[in-house]
Amino acid sequence: MNRKLLTLLLSLALALAVWGGLPVHKAQAAITSVTLNYYPVNVPQDAPVGCATGTSFVVIATVNATDTGLDQYFTGHVTLGMPGSACTYNSTTGTWQAELTSTIDLKQFTIPASQTTYQVVFYVRSQVGFTSNSLRASVYSCDDGTFSYCPAGGRVSSSPAAVTPMDMTSSGGWLDESGGVDVAARAGRYIAVKNGSTLVGLYSAEDNLVPEGNSHAAGGFKVAAPSCTDCAYTIETWLPSAPGTAEGGINTMDANGCPSDIVAGAISSLDTCNSPTAILLESFAGTSQGGVTTLILVSLALAFVMGGLILVQRRRNNGPAL
């Protein structure tokens, strides 16, 4: 090539960069680590290609980055071993994105200025037909809040964690709470299902702003867990600010009105949990004075009372009666 022409082209390229004709990218923030904190060791695998439907689960991770004194911008996703096996929800665009998608289309989040640690919550679906036995969270640094430049070369991933995929027709089912007035305060909290100390199911109560195609009211949820008979699972509620710590009481399956089994491919309703227990009145004695019956002795078949005991007096033509 003619030396004069080469010099001219180089000068033109430099001028375009200075004038803004070529994109000038800022230096990305340095991610120091990504750590998996909470995830179900049994993951539901029932989403078709593209993940438009399917059972969602939650993965909670911590991202550590250097302090730049400025807001720092990132995208991220969860992988499940074989490339293309998982989709992560992007709440900004309202779409499920496969892990092979461009980095700028993944879940977006911002670490505020002067903050170096950030908790990231991923909503994930696993596509059928893939090997999904190793869970990992990956994060990419972006140059600014437009999330238009998040180079794949800047990826930092967590260590892999072993998981077991659940075929939701043969090895997994769902625990379902329809929600409503009684549990509305639970909205947005995480619902954790444990088998002993092992986390086998994790999701969040409505309204979690993730389109799932259900009609749950506030506080309701549908969480996947391995099928079982006479299950010993416990069901905990976690505050978003304190994941891993049970808030209030802990329900145990096969107790307090909760179902005892999770049938593969079926929904087990938790709407009956903590319903008042019926009390059987075995006997009583009373005396009638001036048309008023006074109860003097009550014998109950059950000593444990939930919801209290209500006695209703009615009257007959020939005198008062309980």
Judged against a pLDDT cut of 70, whether residue 159 lies above it is answered with: yes
Instruction: Measure the CA–CA gap between 120 and 137, rounded to whole angstroms.
Output: 10
Kindly tell me the sign of the dihedral angle through the C-alpha atoms of 250, 253, 259, 264.
positive
Encode pLDDT of 224-234 as tens digits: 999 999 998 99
Confidence of residue 83 (pLDDT cuts 50, 70, 90): confident
Largest CA distance in the chain: 123
pLDDT of residue 278: 42
Contacts of 56 (CB under 8 A, 6+ apart): 89, 123, 124, 125, 203, 210, 212
Asked whether the whole model's pTM tops 0.85, one would answer no
CA 181 to chain centre: 21
CA separation (Å) from 182 to 192, 219, 234, 250, 267?
A: 19, 9, 20, 16, 21
pLDDT of residue 176: 92
Instruction: Measure the CA–CA gap between 217 and 219, rounded to whole angstroms.
Output: 6
Q: What is the DSSP letter of 246?
A: B
Task: List for the chain the helix, strand, coil content (%; round to 5).
Answer: 10, 40, 50
